[in-house]
Amino acid sequence: MSLINVTVDGQSRSIESDQRPTQIFAENKEIVVCTINGALKDLWTDLSDGDVVTSVSISSPEGLAVLRHSTAHVMAQAVQQVFADTKLGIGPPITDGFYYDFDPQNPFNPDDLEKIETAMRKIVKEGQRFKRRVTTESDALKELSHEPYKCELIGIKGGGTDETSVEVGGTELTIYDNLGRDGQPVWSDLCRGPHLPSTKHIPAFKLMRSAAAYWRGSEKNPMLQRIYGTAWPSQDELTAYLELLAEAEKRDHRRLGQELDLFSFPEEIGSGLAVFHPKGGIIRRAMEDYSRKRHEEEEYEFVYSPHLTKAALFEKSGHLDWYSEGMYPPMIMDEELHADGTIKRAGQQYYMKPMNCPFHNLIFQSRQRSYRELPLRLFEFGTVYRYEKSGVLHGITRARGFTQDDAHIYCTKEQMAGELDSLLTFVLNLLRDYGLADFYLELSTRNPEKSVGEDSDWNEATEALREAAMKQGLELVLDDGGAAFYGPKISVQAKDAIGRTWQMSTIQVDFQLPQRFDLEFAAADGSKQRPVMIHRALFGSIERFFGVLTEHYSGAFPPWLAPVQVMGIPVAEAFNDHLVKVINAMKAAGIRADIDLSDDRMQKKVRNAQMQKIPYMLIAGEEDVNSNAVSFRYRNGDQKNGVPIADAIAEILATIAERRQV
């Protein structure tokens, strides 16, 4: 057998010409896929002289995606074993799992998922090999003539995007056969791959749920059944993930919002449009008030803009070109008709605003500006409306109407670096004040094929963002080519109490809107110059941040945010008057305090306060009355007795002022 020379994980090696990566990495069971000359490939791929091979472990992002996509194939095979007439859609990997769309005779139910999971375990145990096979469009259409959705995908080969790219979209059309122990195909699926060497490389998986989904995400297409699942490199990792999901379920802001009487989504209003109840309103007001205070300290100027505008504004900004699918349909206003119903005067199109930035540009443009006014920092709690598809709505963290804490900074090029540095410091410190402290930063850079502006401007802005990020001493992750077409961006990724990552604040340099709006300022030499425009959203939206904090704290907000900070609980009715005086003194000091004077037993009153996650319970009995004191019962169950009233008020006020958790 002849030898060929290859490079494996940086080391030159001579191997037999028929040797494959699966044999090269046979001793390391963690390696489930590889790259060959930079392209992700199966371990069964043939090698040629001079190839550069790099191992990919099952725990890496690429390895996890291959594991989950392979598990989706096993699920599809199992579905067709259990429900023979089911037609196949697509089955891509997604964050933490996978899904596959099916067209069954009847919708799936939980018992069906158990049957499918049992069939999957048998397939995994058999150790079926995934074998790639190149085919032609005509042959594939014949072979898959019984699969109408697959045939539709074949028709778009070369143009597959997003989820469909796991099936088609490459330079070749391929089918993967699952081979039984005799080496013969037992099941096949249209797929680009790559896949695991065999089903035995699937260590741990679980089917999660089924749901309805339109074929290829379009409401014009048939409704299919989607089964979601998850797969992990070990049973321990799967168990940890399921425990995380269980904890996340306990913290779900939608459930807590109802239990704590914070907000709701009345059917009469519509999907994705929340109303905040009094207790939710207190939390939201506290969030907003503190944000306003901090913005005033940083010399922001507060502005307000209407909720809708003539179409011409969004034509000028470009939103109708770039963002119309995310906007509500226009309203026709000021139309006048003749008596016979014909149009006397054409009406104007008005849109609900999806963004605040065009309005702020009009404020900047309202009069001549001087370099002496810059940097000009405009800030608004601006409510916007975006027509999100119903399938992606998720409580107040993904809504159709929400309020952005939106700021736009106008500065000179010379001021840009310093402004970005101070902006990022301000953003991170303010997030820390609300209790988030575990961050990393993401820098989104230019995509040359999808961007506007001069290279020099992009380079200067990107480097200024990079330097500002490096000064924070945080991990910086590069999102190469991920910037919007109008400028680079830094986004703050924050981890919550159970380790989930949420995108929070964004800071983005914009080269496009100042040109579109012809923004100018008078420079020191008398010339007219274009300002740099920086977009900055700290919370993203008030509603989304509210939801994140609700889940981060599991509804047990720190005292400064809690709607009720203190609940008075008398041991018996005889001590009511004493505790009423204490609670009134606390109210006079600005503490949000209440007293439970119901007929419930004291133990139930304590339980009710705990269920409402109130930070402080003040209990008063005979000893407390005699010594003009109260007893503290903290949210975690700890208790401190005989606290003088003045000391009790001082302790609570200090905790609120310092924004500490108890």
Contact between 189 and 88 (Cβ < 8 Å): yes
Active-site residue among 192, 226, 353, 386? 386
- Is the Cα torsion angle 179, 180, 186, 191 positive or negative in sign? negative
The reply to whether 552 sits in an annotated binding site is: no
Contact between 6 and 52 (Cβ < 8 Å): yes
SS3 464: helix
Active-site residue among 195, 201, 319, 535? 535
Residues in the chain: 662
Contact between 352 and 319 (Cβ < 8 Å): no
Active-site residue among 201, 206, 400, 489? 489
**Residue-wise DSSP of 258-327:** HHTT-EE--TTT-TT--EE-HHHHHHHHHHHHHHHHHHHHTT-EE----SEEEHHHHHHHTHHHHSGGGS
Q: Is 115 a catalytic residue?
A: no
Radius of gyration in angstroms for the set of CA atoms belonging to the chain, rounded to a whole number: 30
Q: Is 404 a catalytic residue?
A: yes
DSSP label of 330: P
Q: Is 201 a catalytic residue?
A: no
**Residue-wise DSSP of 165-224:** GGTS-SSSEEEEEEE-TTS-EEEEEE------SBGGG--EEEEEEEEEEEGGG-TTSPEE
Q: Is 408 a catalytic residue?
A: yes
Contact between 100 and 68 (Cβ < 8 Å): no
Q: Is 601 a catalytic residue?
A: no
Contact between 329 and 400 (Cβ < 8 Å): no
Q: Is 77 a catalytic residue?
A: no
> What are residue 264's DSSP bridge partners?
275
> What are residue 78's DSSP bridge partners?
none
Q: How far is CA 312 from the centre of its chain?
A: 32
Q: Is 151 a catalytic residue?
A: no
The reply to whether 319 sits in an annotated binding site is: no
CB atoms under 10 Å from CB of 463, counted, come to 12
The reply to whether 408 sits in an annotated binding site is: yes
DSSP label of 111: H
The two structure tokens encoding residue 47: 């090698």
Binding residues: 357, 408, 535
Q: Catalogue the active-site residues.
A: 357, 386, 404, 406, 408, 489, 535
* Binding-site residue set for Zn(2+): 357, 408, 535
